[in-house]
Amino acid sequence: MSDASTEASREGESTGDRRLGVGALDEAVPPDEIPEGVPGESRAIDTGEVRLHVVEAGPEDGKLLVLLHGFPEFWYGWHETIAPLANAGYRVVVPDQRGYNLSEKPPAVRDYRIDALARDAVGVIDAYDRETAAVAGHDWGAAVGWWLALHHADRVSEFVAVNVPHPTVFERALRSSWDQRLKSWYVLAFQLPKLPEAVASAGNWRLAVRGLRESSDPGTFGDEDFGRYRRAWNRDGAFEAMVNWYRAIVRDRPTPETETVEVPTLVIWGAKDRFLSTRLAGESVERCADGRLLTLDAATHWVVHEEPHRVAEAIADHADPLPPGARE
């Protein structure tokens, strides 16, 4: 990159604009970062604490929709939903959350506490100069979304949680259910220093790939998907940072300030999830003042990949940026 283009890519830093060029990231964005056929452009966002890589798509004046990925993915986990949601009128913004892929990777476990992760999402909303955004999260992204809806309700217009329960519901399940404890065995395994990273990366990420393949419907993830995941996991410090999310939640174990979610909430649940009991979905809806449940009986934990258009349709209908009949 030339000096002139580098300067241009950093445009906004001196004016206070928190949406920056990709030259502000620590690593270069690969030319094929966004697959052909997926609309959107890469951008760097300064949240006030970290710099995040985001993919943005859809009309600039559309209702802001922030999609939060989970473990062990990155923004790409939502790639099949971006086009239908952008076509539905949303300004879609999909960050690599802190520690993942091209985003900044703070070194300490404490840097991945849930409060900090939720503040990152607020920082993304601020960067687009919006008071509120609709937020959807899958897996760890849903955990961040629940925390955001509980502690920053004034910044979230609607919330969609995909296959992760309300934090109080999950905490009580871990305390009372041996079935859920056994399903969540990997959380304790991730507390060991260095070993999870070494085991996961051995044999060109053989176990990490096998975990995704065996916990999803056959054919859900293909060779191109795994190639992209391996590249993201291989980035310097990335997998350690990803595991630090689990280390931080066990060491900190915060209690929400309130248990009732006032933000209109849709819970989408793949019923064949091998990591989380389906009953947790209904119990989570009961914690919402305005909550609904959509259960997809044939889907697994990876429902965003298995049923991307159904998930996108449900998100669009829940947040509804267009006037009645406009989508038809």
Whole-Å CA distances, 199 to 59, 121, 202, 281, 306: 43, 31, 5, 32, 27
By CB atoms closer than 10 A (0-12, 13-18, 19+), residue 10 is middle
Pick the catalytic residue from 53, 69, 246, 318. 246
Which 8-state DSSP code applies to residue 278? T
Of 126, 139, 225, 273, which one is the catalytic site residue? Answer: 139
Is residue 139 part of the annotated active site? The answer reads: yes
Backbone phi and psi for residue 119, each to the nearest 5 degrees, phi listed first: -65, -35
How many CB atoms are closer than 10 A to CB 23?
16
Q: Over 80: is that where the pLDDT of 3 sits?
A: no
Average pLDDT of 89-100?
Answer: 98
Structure tokens at 178: 């041996």
DSSP β-bridge partners for residue 95? 54
> Catalytic residue at 246?
yes
Q: What is the pTM of this model?
A: 0.93
Mind listing the pLDDT tens digit for each residue in 261-292? Answer: 999 999 999 999 999 999 999 999 999 999 99
Which of 38-52, 176-190, 204-218 shows the lowest mean pLDDT across its residues?
176-190
For 250-273, letters b (16+ CB in 10 Å) and e give eeeeeebeeeebebbbbbbbbebb
Task: Give one word for 55, left, alpha or beta, with left for phi > 0 and alpha for psi -120 to 50.
Answer: beta
